[in-house]
Amino acid sequence: MVELVAAGGLVCNRAGAASCTRRAWHRQVLKQTARCLGVWSLGGLAGRAVRAGQGERWPFEARRGLFLIHAQSAQGAMQLWPDDLDRLPEELAERLELPQPAAPVFVFLFDDKSSYRRYLTTYFPEAPRRRALFIQSRGFPMVFAYGQRELPVDLRHEATHAFLRELVPLVPLWLDEGLAEYFEMPPSDRGTAHPHAAAVRLAARLRLVPALEKLEPFVQIQELSSTDYRNCWAWTHFLLHGPQPVQETFRGYLADLRAGRPEPPLSVRLRQSISDLQSALADHFRRW
């Protein structure tokens, strides 16, 4: 799975991107999207699909909550759509104590890998060959994916990025990825059954989870390794389920990000109430 995010000069590409900067990819996305992509007309969110230069409708179009869906068929990938995804905006708002998202997310679903690849090769030749993409351009958050076993995880992950772009535009890369990793699982599994959980518990027992200060400087997605993604999830889990002072500091930090006040970084804020942050993180996962 991968997410490519172009918003305000930010680009994210999970699991290894082409060696482009986030700002450079943003310019490419703007140009390609304006020329090629099919999007919904937003007049009253009536749902009229327009393919640039062709006026074609997608074979299947639907709206589910804030998701405006274009798909190759009503069968195929649509059969894998997770019902809990429709509630993701409300869950994000409730869990993070933020206003509910209001902007629609445009989802483009392909029935198979080959048609997905053909589309991206034609319209986004520089995009990495990954399982799913999230692109935000000119105010349109768009998710591209194809039908396969992990599609529900992909859709939750990419949609989380889309809603975070609206709610917390200044979200740092490590937290953007940590939250997307957290919310990619079904609601019943987010706290305890994530694939990262076992490795993080072991690392916590051995005190091998790095300090938050090691994650905060990341600004380009290609800098992140798979271990870094796991560590982003670990710190995010700690922020959401850890001691009450940690949760309160985290929510205050989110409020400041929304108000355009990213400084000081979260690690500095947390150490004002918890001096030994590493031990607190290790204790959290030993008890979890």
> In this structure, are residues 101 and 94 in contact, taking their beta carbons and an 8 Å threshold?
no
pLDDT at 126: 77
State which H helix or E strand residue 132 sits in.
strand 132-137
Edge-to-edge order in the sheet of strand 140-146: 60-64, 67-71, 105-110, 140-146, 132-137
Tell me, what amino acid is at 119?
A: Y
Q: Decide if pLDDT at 245 tops 90.
A: yes
Mean pLDDT in the chain? Answer: 82
pTM of the model: 0.82
pLDDT at 56: 67
pLDDT at 168: 96
Q: Decide if pLDDT at 272 tops 80.
A: yes
Query: What's the CA gap between 87 and 90, in Å, rounded?
Result: 6
Compare 145 and 55 and report the one with higher pLDDT: 145
In this prediction, residues 58-63 reach a mean pLDDT of: 95
Compare 65 and 137 and report the one with higher pLDDT: 65
Residues in the chain: 288
Tens digits of residue pLDDT in 30-54: 444 444 444 333 333 223 333 433 3
Q: Decide if pLDDT at 66 tops 60.
A: yes
Hey, what are 279's tokens? 């031990």
Domain boundaries, the chain: 22-167, 187-287
Q: Decide if pLDDT at 250 tops 90.
A: yes
Percentage, residues of the chain above pLDDT 70: 81
pLDDT at 40: 38
Q: Decide if pLDDT at 185 tops 50.
A: yes
Q: Decide if pLDDT at 8 tops 60.
A: no
Stretch among 34-43, 53-62, 207-216, 242-251 having the lowest mean pLDDT = 34-43
Compare 14 and 235 and report the one with higher pLDDT: 235
Class of domain 22-167: alpha beta
pLDDT at 14: 39
